[in-house]
Structure 1
Amino acid sequence: MEAFVCGSGLVRSKNRVDRRGVSDLRMSASRREFMFSIAGVAIVNGLPKEASANVNLMAAKRSYFRYVPRIEEGINYYMLALSPAVNAGDWGKVSQAFVKTSVAREGSEKALNDIDPKTTILEREFFVPMRTWSNSFAEKGTSPKSRAMLVKVDAFEKEMDKLKKATKNQNQADASASWELGRTVLNEYIDIANKGLSRELRKLENLPEDAKSFQKIAKRPDTTF
């Protein structure tokens, strides 16, 4: 072991000095990391609230214009096609709501190879967009508003399952009851979604009790979102 005489006249091993040197380097690195972390927090906290709000609004708009038009198309179908079919006991038309079909373009590669996903109109226009839009209100994974909306999506799916069963059994009373409860749940979903919605976004309209008074929802203009 190589030794040397330090200023105080004491003999110390070079190995000890090396270990101290490594320790000093580690302490120095730790101090640098700490200072950088403090600086990072200061930068984040120093961002203008307006900038953060603008980012959140843009995300809300993208989600809104991606899923709300599909939900409104579903509402048009629910009120203008499904309602009269249920009231008339036209089980053939009602059952179309539960038939899985493809939305792939005719002649497309997916259609030709029969690999295109097949879904029902209820899945395409209600279940999927309603659930996805609900999740867009989540904050760090979840939020009270998101959870409340998802509860209504589950409730609506259950009513549509009951409608499917009533259609299979051609039970007019049960079919009408399930359709009406579905309308009620949709309105509850809409009420939750509209609460706190940005003024820059048009609120969804409730489904009237009298289906005959329902006015078809106009298609929203195309956007860049």
Structure 2
Amino acid sequence: MSTLKRLDGRTALVTGGSRGIGRGIAERLGRDGARVAVHYGANETAAKEVVGAIEAAGGSAFAIGQELGTPGDAAALWAEFDRHADGLDILVNNAGIGASDSFASMGEAEFDRLFAVNVKAPFFLAQLGAERLRDGGRVINISSGLSHAAVMPDLIAYAMTKGALDVFTRDLSKTLGPRGITVNAVAPGIIDTDTNAWLHESEEAWAGAAAMSALGRVGEPSDVADVVAFLASPEGRWVTGHWLDATGGSLP
């Protein structure tokens, strides 16, 4: 019986892969046989824990650190990546930040920071990564259900960044399509991660979030990671330019 896995021989980069949804994606791609670059912005210890978990499961991984949203961030990240790997097959633009202020109170500095991390960084990571990405590869951008429904209107600026990422996904699929590279966006809903620590503040908070889903529960990182794994796999070869709702039926 063959022990080959569907991503054997492929290399993946997962930005923000040290925690939350990114960690779930990194570990799933590792289980599928990919060698995974686990990117982190500041928490090296967490990234190394993910690398250790992937290796303990029989996979291969390495950690690379680079703060995003700073001048030259993409070039610096790729320079570090090149120290460990020769070429790329799967780019997952997962790293992102949320907004702490509403429309009425948001200042220019936070607005600029949101777009620098959530939009500018993925753009230039893909631009500079295109020369490393092998033909037949994958680009998967992590979007949000908020780009398609105003269910949390106070997060308007954050939703705007994800809307920009969706347009980037659509148009980049045409740019890279001649090389057999697919480009898709996966949109999570409310996921139980440390970013959403408010879910554990009360039973009411958890129940309210679960009630938003047609499936009656709060999402887990693995729910999103499994969707990403499909798009990264050979089975996802005919899906491109697509925004995939992975909110568990939370949108109106």
**Range of TM-score over shorter length:** under 0.3
Query: Which structure: larger Rg?
Result: 1
More helix by share: 1
TM-score using structure 2 length:
0.24
More strand by share: 2
TM-score using structure 1 length:
0.26
